[in-house]
């Protein structure tokens, strides 16, 4: 037997087409998506079992014994590991092929069978012709169904939203979400910048996102500057609850022995929020300004700046010396002549909402501690202008300055994710909560009695076959074509 | 204007009333549970009816409790562990009573729901703090509020769905042998259990989807990162994935019967892991 090159090529092409068709069919199948989703669920589970972000030595120190598996599958950073990314890609492929494959179906009219298996049967009294007219009227005029097939043995009517396009749309929305995740994965990066009052700051990223980091370690500094105009903290007076942890004591309170009690202490101050007035400046021009809050970041130039916290710098004078020493709250300050360093707490300043609903301005104060070896020893509280004596040195709080700590993030994926999520959610809600209802009916005569035979299918929660049947029966009884006494056929 | 002492004693007094009401609601659910157990043992409808009535009384007490707490806190009372468990118990009981209203003389699944509602209440009372404290700045967000409200509502709906599904799995073999009629269940209406469980998942799934979405939007708004794979987030994603599998399995003829029921029960186990399992694991 002789084989020509052409024949072999054709054979190969046919085989490739065959493999491609099979792969396509495999990925267009819901069964495949069930399998891949199952594997994804197992992966998520693995991610909760192994401490994500820990390093191998920590894992071993904590008693982890699966070192070989952990390093082989990157289990401590599993959600960035090749195994996980590969599976996520398969799910994405599955979704894309499914959605592509079902695209034509959303425009095709349903091909209804000539006959349906009747699920309900209602006895009617009228002659068959009148029954046809009345039943049609009941469906179309009363129950607001739309006729979709009337030239067949069975008449088909529909109501609600077309479920196929909606199902298709929320799958498409999930695909858009996946694109958002991919953009985040490839391009997002983040960092921290601390703004001191009245000074210009440039964002100098020390990252550049996963993709760019292949050729460039850091992204360029921003061509705009940030300027902290004002910073304020708000407190609320919050009483503490005197309530037992012990279960029996809690039960006793529930049964009426004893009561919980709120108590207000001198320092029952709770941070209600903080605000930073920030300007975006280029040269002499102010490009944008905003009072950012904890849940309201400043967004500019593709970056979002989130208020992560604040940083107080206290200024103190020692023995009245006009040259002031500066220290960040929480850091050790070495005062000449003192053996142990001094540590100042956060400065409490700003507005306070009191328990009785009135607002007051806090007189700024901070706490002073001495650091003795690993221990901190509380020495007292000072307000602006007040002093505290430590081993013969007079330390006076001369002033303070509050800087705003901002977490910045560059993430081109988030917007795409919101768009996809919104599309998926809205269409899913319509599909599930409103849904679609189809009724097919036929009117037959058996043993001299006219029966309405009904088949009803619903998608989603908005329609119930029982309710449709009830409403129809009610209408037909009112129209005098359904006898109250005749037994139902089925 | 009220002075501090008056405010503190008023708030302490209201909290004491609230706690007593909460204990009362737990006891009523406990009573419902006992009555449901009697119903299962004796097959007498009178116990089933009494149990359902007790559940209804529990719901009224719990709803009153939540309204009282909203008044005390001056905000929507769904944010702390204590509050969200109370919300869960209310949602589960209401969902069950609503779903079972169509059933005539069928009370079996109530045994699971009353146990869950009572368990949630006792967990809140023993492990949570009832203190009304200001919310930390990060939690002062509508996204967060809706996140918690919908997440717990969906968890409650899934819990009821699993209860009905469990009843279906337990009773089906007896029905086939003709033995479960004492519980009002026969070959005709047992399928309604399966359908009910499915309808509840259909109802809960978009709620959970929105809960995950709003959680991500909240995290993004507060910290700039919409997802950080922490165990709670990951468990909610597992739950969502399992219910996606369940819904897909309902469209596959070979899986739409008992395999779908099993997926539904696994989904419920995931709900328990997402909450309170994660809290429990973290405390180990
Ligand atoms: C993260 C991925 C996915 C999610 C969240 C998702 C979600 C859903 C949901 C909620 C349903 C509704 C079930 C119902 O109406 O009862 C559904 C149905 C369906 N899904 Fe998916 N799906 C995903 C992936 C896929 C994939 C990859 C395929 C492709 C095979 C697929 C194909 C289908 C089909 C054919 C239906 C039935 C549609 C209907 O009967 O209306 N899905 N999906």
Q: Burial, A1: exposed, middle or buried (Cβ in 10 Å; 0-12, 13-18, 19+)?
A: exposed
Task: Output the domain CATH number for residue A464.
Answer: 3.30.310.80
Mutate to test the pocket of ligand 1, among A23, A25, A32, A33 (most ligand atoms within 8 A of CB): A33
d(CA A489, CA A47): 58
d(CA A275, CA A350): 11
B134/A contact by beta carbon, under 8 A: yes
d(CA A448, CA A343): 101
Interface contact A31-B210, CB threshold 8 A = no
Which run of H or of E encompasses A439?
strand A436-446
Bridge partners (DSSP) of residue A388 are A395
Nearest CA to ligand 1 atom 4: B244
- For residue A184, is it within any domain? no
- For residue A171, is it within any domain? no
Nearest CA to ligand 1 atom 6: B244
DSSP string of A119-185? SEEEEE-S-HHHHHHHHHHIIIIIS--EEEE-SSSSEEEEEE--HHHHHHHHHHHHHHHHHHHHHHH
- For residue A47, is it within any domain? yes
End-to-end Cα separation, chain A, in angstroms: 69
> What residue of B is the nearest CA neighbor of A236?
B134
Q: Burial, A96: exposed, middle or buried (Cβ in 10 Å; 0-12, 13-18, 19+)?
A: middle
| Cβ(A94) – ligand 1 distance below 6 Å | yes
d(CA B89, CA B29): 9
| Cβ(A29) – ligand 1 distance below 6 Å | yes
The two three-digit tokens of residue A432, written as one number: 């599930």
- Note the pLDDT of residue A486: 55
CB B43 within 8 A of CB B49: no
- For residue A416, is it within any domain? no
CB A366 within 8 A of CB A284: no
Bridge partners (DSSP) of residue A351 are A234, A361
A377 plus A457 within the same structural domain: no
A370 plus A312 within the same structural domain: yes
d(CA A279, CA B224): 19
Residue A447: partners with Cβ closer than 8 Å, 6 or more residues away: none
| For the ranges A51-55, B63-67, B70-74, B98-102, the one whose mean pLDDT is highest | B63-67
Residue A435 CB neighbour total at 10 angstroms: 20
A54 plus A101 within the same structural domain: yes
B28/A contact by beta carbon, under 8 A: no
- Note the pLDDT of residue A6: 63
d(CA B234, CA B244): 15
Mean pLDDT by 10 residues, chain A (490 residues): 59 92 96 97 92 81 79 86 96 97 88 85 81 90 90 89 95 98 96 94 93 91 95 93 93 91 86 95 95 95 94 94 92 90 93 90 92 89 93 93 95 97 98 95 86 93 92 84 58
B259/A contact by beta carbon, under 8 A: no
d(CA A341, CA A376): 10
- For residue A424, is it within any domain? no
Bridge partners (DSSP) of residue A380 are A368
Tell me which residue of B190, B181, B188, B77 sits closest to B124, measured CA to CA.
B77
- For residue A32, is it within any domain? yes
pTM: 0.92
- Note the pLDDT of residue A489: 46
Interface contact A432-B203, CB threshold 8 A = yes
Calculate the alpha carbon distances from A142 to A14, A125, A134, A449 in Å.
57, 20, 10, 24
d(CA A105, CA A111): 11
d(CA A123, CA A265): 78
Residue A407, helix vs strand vs coil: strand
Sign of CA dihedral B142, B144, B145, B149: positive
Phi/psi class of residue A74: alpha, beta or left (left: φ > 0; alpha: ψ in -120 to 50)? left
d(CA A336, CA B150): 59
- For residue A328, is it within any domain? yes
Q: What are phi and psi of A270, to 5 degrees?
A: -120, 135
In which domain, by residue range, is A462 found? 120-161+435-477
Mutate to test the pocket of ligand 1, among A95, A106, A110, A166 (most ligand atoms within 8 A of CB): A95
> What residue of A is the nearest CA neighbor of B25?
A254
CB B233 within 8 A of CB B170: no
Nearest CA to ligand 1 atom 12: B247
Tell me which residue of B93, B112, B119, B111 sits closest to B48, measured CA to CA.
B111
A330/B contact by beta carbon, under 8 A: no
d(CA B154, CA B148): 10
- For residue A114, is it within any domain? no
Number of domains in chain A: 3
Q: What are phi and psi of A482, to 5 degrees?
A: -115, 120
d(CA B173, CA A291): 65
Q: Burial code of A314-346, b = ≥16 C-beta within 10 A, e = fewer?
A: bebbbeeeeeebebebeeebebeebebebbbbb
- Note the pLDDT of residue B3: 85
Sign of CA dihedral B150, B154, B157, B163: negative
The two three-digit tokens of residue B221, written as one number: 């708004």
d(CA A171, CA A33): 12
Atom in ligand 1 nearest the alpha carbon of residue A27: 30
- Long-range Cβ contacts of B10-16 (<8 Å, 24+ apart): B11/A239, B11/A262, B11/B72, B11/B132, B12/A259, B12/A260, B12/A261, B12/A262, B13/A259, B14/B68, B14/B71, B14/B72, B15/A241, B15/A260, B15/A262, B15/B72, B15/B130, B15/B132, B16/A253, B16/A259, B16/A260
Q: Average pLDDT in the B269-273 region?
A: 95
CB A40 within 8 A of CB A88: yes
Output the CA B76–ligand 1 centroid distance in Å. 35
> What residue of B is the nearest CA neighbor of A170?
B206
Cis peptide before B276 (omega within 30 of 0): yes
Q: What are phi and psi of A282, to 5 degrees?
A: -135, 120
d(CA B32, CA B92): 14
**B212-247 confidence digits (pLDDT tens):** 999 999 999 999 999 999 999 999 999 999 999 999
- Is the model's pLDDT at B107 over the cut of 50? yes
A244 plus A355 within the same structural domain: yes
Calculate the alpha carbon distances from A201 to A227, A291, A303, A405 in Å.
6, 17, 14, 12
- Note the pLDDT of residue A477: 84
A130 plus A80 within the same structural domain: no
Q: List the 214-233 stretch of B: residues with Cβ below 8 A of A.
A: 216-218, 220-226, 229, 231
Phi/psi class of residue A357: alpha, beta or left (left: φ > 0; alpha: ψ in -120 to 50)? left
DSSP string of B241-273? HHHHHHHHHTTSTTTTTHHHHHHHHHHHHHHHI
The side-by-side arrangement of strands in the sheet containing A146-149 is A120-124, A449-459, A436-446, A155-160, A146-149
A197 plus A238 within the same structural domain: yes
Bridge partners (DSSP) of residue A390 are A393
A385/B contact by beta carbon, under 8 A: no
Interface contact A414-B220, CB threshold 8 A = yes
Nearest CA to ligand 1 atom 17: B248
A194 plus A65 within the same structural domain: no
A102 plus A222 within the same structural domain: no
Q: Domain ends where: A410, A427, A444?
A: A410
The two three-digit tokens of residue A302, written as one number: 């593709």
Q: What are phi and psi of B8, to 5 degrees?
A: -65, -40
Secondary structure of A324-346 in the HEC alphabet?
CEEEECCCEECCCCCCCCEEECC
CB B153 within 8 A of CB B84: no
Output the CA B54–ligand 1 centroid distance in Å. 40
- Note the pLDDT of residue B183: 86
Nearest CA to ligand 1 atom 1: A174
- Note the pLDDT of residue A365: 92
Q: Domain locations in chain B?
A: 1-133, 138-284
Q: Domain ends where: A79, A106, A133?
A: A106
d(CA B256, CA A67): 40
Q: Burial, A270: exposed, middle or buried (Cβ in 10 Å; 0-12, 13-18, 19+)?
A: middle
A220 plus A348 within the same structural domain: yes
Which run of H or of E encompasses B234?
helix B231-249
d(CA B152, CA B139): 16
A220 plus A317 within the same structural domain: yes
CB A304 within 8 A of CB A290: no
- C-alpha A79, offset from chain centre: 17
Q: How far is B41 from chain A (nearest CA, A)?
A: 30
Residue A205, helix vs strand vs coil: coil
DSSP string of B7-53? HHHHHHHHHHHHHHHHHHHHHHHHHHHHHHHHHHHH--HHHHHHHHH
ipTM: 0.93
Q: How far is B5 from chain A (nearest CA, A)?
A: 9
Nearest to A271 among B4, B12, B137 (CB): B137
A81 plus A157 within the same structural domain: no
Nearest CA to ligand 1 atom 14: B247
- Note the pLDDT of residue B282: 64
CA-derived radius of gyration, chain A: 36
The two three-digit tokens of residue A340, written as one number: 């142990």
| Cβ(A95) – ligand 1 distance below 6 Å | yes
A306 plus A442 within the same structural domain: no
């Amino acid at each position: 037997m002789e084989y020509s090159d052409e024949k072999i090529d054709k054979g190969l092409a046919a085989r490739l087409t065959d493999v491609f068709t099979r792969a396509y069919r495999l990925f267009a199948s819901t069964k495949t998506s069930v399998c891949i989703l199952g594997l994804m669920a197992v992966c998520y589970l693995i991610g909760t079992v192994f401490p994500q972000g820990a390093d191998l030595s920590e894992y071993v120190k904590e008693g982890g014994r699966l070192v070989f598996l952990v390093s082989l599958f990157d289990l401590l950073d599993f959600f960035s590991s090749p195994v996980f990314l590969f599976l996520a890609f398969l799910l994405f492929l599955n979704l894309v092929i499914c959605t592509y494959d079902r695209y034509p179906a959303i425009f095709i009219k349903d091909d209804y069978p000539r006959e349906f298996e009747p699920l309900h049967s209602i006895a009617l009294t009228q002659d068959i012709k009148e029954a046809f007219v009345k039943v049609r009227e009941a469906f179309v005029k009363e129950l607001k169904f739309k006729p979709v097939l009337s030239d067949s043995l069975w008449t088909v009517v529909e109501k609600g939203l077309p479920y196929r396009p909606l199902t298709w749309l929320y799958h498409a929305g999930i695909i858009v979400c996946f694109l958002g995740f991919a953009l985040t994965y490839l391009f997002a990066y983040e960092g921290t910048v601390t703004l001191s009052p009245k000074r210009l700051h440039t964002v100098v990223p020390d990252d550049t996102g996963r993709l760019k980091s292949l050729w460039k370690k850091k992204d360029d500094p921003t061509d705009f500057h940030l300027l902290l105009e004002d910073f304020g903290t708000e407190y609320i007076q919050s009483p503490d609850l005197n309530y037992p942890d012990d279960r029996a004591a809690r039960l006793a309170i529930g049964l009426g022995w004893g009561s919980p009690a709120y108590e207000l202490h001198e320092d029952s101050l709770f941070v209600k929020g903080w605000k930073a007035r920030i300007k975006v400046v280029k040269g002499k021009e102010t490009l944008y300004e905003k009072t950012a809050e904890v849940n309201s970041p400043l967004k500019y130039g593709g970056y979002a700046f989130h208020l992560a916290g604040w940083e107080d710098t206290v200024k103190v004078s020692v023995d009245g010396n006009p040259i002031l020493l500066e220290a960040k709250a929480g850091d050790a300050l070495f005062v000449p002549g003192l053996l142990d360093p001094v540590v100042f707490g956060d400065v409490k300043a700003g507005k306070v909402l009191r328990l009785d609903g009135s607002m007051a301005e806090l007189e700024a104060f901070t706490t002073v501690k001495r650091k003795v070896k690993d221990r901190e020893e509380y020495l007292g509280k000072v307000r602006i202008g007040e002093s505290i004596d430590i081993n013969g040195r007079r330390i006076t709080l001369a002033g303070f300055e509050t800087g705003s700590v901002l977490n910045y993030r560059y993430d081109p994926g988030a917007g795409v994710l919101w768009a996809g999520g919104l599309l998926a959610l809205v269409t899913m809600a319509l599909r599930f909560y409103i849904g679609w209802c189809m009724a097919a009916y036929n009117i037959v005569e058996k043993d001299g009695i006219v029966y309405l035979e009904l088949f009803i299918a619903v998608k989603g929660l908005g329609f119930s076959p029982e309710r449709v049947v009830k409403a129809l029966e009610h209408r037909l009884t009112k129209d005098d074509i359904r006898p109250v006494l005749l037994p139902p056929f089925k | 204007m009220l002075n501090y002492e008056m405010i503190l004693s008023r708030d302490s007094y209201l909290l004491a009333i609230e706690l007593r009401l909460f204990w009362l609601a737990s006891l009523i659910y406990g009573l419902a549970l006992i009555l449901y157990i009697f119903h299962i043992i004796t097959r007498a409808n009178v116990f089933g009816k009494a149990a359902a009535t007790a559940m209804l009384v529990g719901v009224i007490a719990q709803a009153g409790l939540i309204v009282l707490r909203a008044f005390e806190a001056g905000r929507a009372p769904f944010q702390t562990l204590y509050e969200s468990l109370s919300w869960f118990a209310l949602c589960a009981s209401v969902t069950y009573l609503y779903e079972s209203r169509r059933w005539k003389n069928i009370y079996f699944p109530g045994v699971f729901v009353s146990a869950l509602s009572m368990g949630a209440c006792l967990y809140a009372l023993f492990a949570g703090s009832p203190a009304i404290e200001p919310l930390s700045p990060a939690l002062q967000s509508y996204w967060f509020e809706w996140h918690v409200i919908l997440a717990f509502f969906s968890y409650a709906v899934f819990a009821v769905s699993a209860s009905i599904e469990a009843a279906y799995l337990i009773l089906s073999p007896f029905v086939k042998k003709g033995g479960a009629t004492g519980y009002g269940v026969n070959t005709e209406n047992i399928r309604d259990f399966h359908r009910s469980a499915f309808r509840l998942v259909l109802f809960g799934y978009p709620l959970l989807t929105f809960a995950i979405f709003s959680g991500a939007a909240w995290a993004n708004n507060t910290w700039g990162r919409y997802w950080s794979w922490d165990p709670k987030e990951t468990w909610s994603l597992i739950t969502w994935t399992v219910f996606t599998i369940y819904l897909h399995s309902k469209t596959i003829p070979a899986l739409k019967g008992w395999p779908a029921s099993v997926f539904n029960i696994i989904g419920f186990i995931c709900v328990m892991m997402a909450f309170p399992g994660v809290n429990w694991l973290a405390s180990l």
